Amino acid sequence: MKKEERYKGVLDWFEANVPVAETELHYDDPYQLLIAVILSAQCTDKRVNMITPALFRDFPTAEVLAASTPEVVFEYIRSVSYPNNKSKHLVGMAKMLMADFGGVVPSDIDELQKLPGVGRKTANVIASVVYNKPAMAVDTHVFRVANRIGLTNNSKTPLETEKELVKNIPEKQIPIAHHWLILHGRYVCVARKPKCEECGLKPWCKYFLKAKI
């Protein structure tokens, strides 16, 4: 099957069957989303959603968070993975937001990556979800699902996957395609044993078509 045919089949299927796909993290503004995404590294969205209400209540702005300390923030986030590092990152991120960005979450990927705790994946999520930019954040689900379906050609790194997806997905579909692939990986094309029998992507999926031979 030609690559264009595979991309078209997969994207058309998602468009028809998953018209709404959004982040499962709870947030009300870009500052809150940035905090939630930093916290979600190596951690489930469900766990993050359990602790952010108190965090957002007591640190409603970057200014308030910047005036706090990692020790204080640690008590709010102790149940997520790597709370030590993440509490330092959150306070450092808030200080830099205040000092360099006037308290406003930037939209530029390079500027976002200057913030403590913000890598390329987090920067792409913010650019895409908050600013609707054609940025593709590649997490473990996107990486695995894209390889299995054959949207990427045995990509070895998240950056390779990102570049290949961005090259082949129409610009206006990139923000939602990120969520399509994440949700598909979380609930259907799961890591250990993909649920191919209930998956609508079978006609275009390299992994499934190979297994049938």
Active site residue ranges:
121, 139
CB of 196 to ligand SF4, least distance (A): 3
Q: Does 194 bind ligand SF4 (CB under 6 A)?
A: yes
CB of 180 to ligand SF4, least distance (A): 11
User: Between residues 80 and 205, which has the closer beta carbon with respect to ligand SF4?
Assistant: 205
CA torsion 73→75→77→78, rounded to 10°?
140
- Say whether 205 counts as a known binding-site residue: yes
Among 13, 82, 131, 207, binds ligand SF4 (CB under 6 A): 207
CB of 191 to ligand SF4, least distance (A): 10
CA distance 165 to 142: 10
Whose CA is closest to 143, among 155, 133, 129, 125? 155
**Residue whose pair of structure tokens reads 């952010």 in the numeric block:** 52
Among 63, 95, 199, 213, binds ligand SF4 (CB under 6 A): 199
Q: Does 135 bind ligand SF4 (CB under 6 A)?
A: no
- Say whether 199 counts as a known binding-site residue: yes
Per-residue interface string for the shown chain with ligand SF4, residues 51-90, x marking contact by CB under 6 A? ----------------------------------------
The region of 11-19, 31-39, 161-169, 195-203 touching ligand SF4 under the rule CB under 6 A is 195-203
Among 6, 148, 178, 179, binds ligand SF4 (CB under 6 A): 148
Q: Is 152 helix (H, G, I), strand (E, B) or coil?
A: coil
CA distance 120 to 138: 9
Q: Does 210 bind ligand SF4 (CB under 6 A)?
A: no
Contacting residues for 58 by C-beta, under 8 A, at least 6 apart:
64, 76
User: From the CB of residue 196, how many other CB atoms can be counted at a distance below 10 Å?
Assistant: 16
Q: Does 151 bind ligand SF4 (CB under 6 A)?
A: no
DSSP class of 82: S
E-strand spans in the chain?
Answer: none
The size of the chain, in residues, is 213
CA distance 48 to 26: 9
Residues placed in the known binding site for [4Fe-4S] cluster: 189, 196, 199, 205
